Chains A and B, each alone.
Chain A
Amino acid sequence: MKESLLEILCCPLDKNDLELEDAEYDDSSEDSEILSGTLVCTACGERYPIEDGIPNLLPPDMREESPA
Chain B
Amino acid sequence: MGILENKARARLFYKYLSQVYDQINPFIWNEEMRTEALSLLEFEDAEMVLDVGCGTGFATEGLLEHVDTVYALDQSEHQLEKAYAKFGKTGGPAQFHRGDAERLPFQTDTFDIVWSSGSIEYWPEPVLALREFNRVLKPGGQVLVVGPNYPENPIAQVLADAMMLFYDEHEADRMFKDAGFEEVKHLFQGPSYEPEVAITTIARAPE
A contacts, CB < 8 Å to B: 1-2, 5, 7-13, 15, 26, 29, 31, 33, 35, 48, 52-59, 61-62, 64, 67-68
Contact = CB atoms under 8 A, between A and B. Distances in A.
B7 to A, nearest CB: 5
Interface of B: 6-8, 11, 48, 71, 73, 75, 77, 80, 89-91, 95-100, 103-108, 110
A5 B90 contact: no
A5 B110 CA distance: 11
Nearest to B84: A54
A45 to B, nearest CB: 16
A33 B91 contact: yes
Tell me what chain A mostly uses at the interface: helix, strand, loop, or mixed.
loop
Contacts of A29: 90-91
Contacts of A57: 73, 97-99, 105
A31 B89 CA distance: 15
Given A52-B89, A54-B90, A5 B6 contact: no
Given A67-B8, A68-B8, A55 B103 contact: no
A68 B11 CA distance: 10
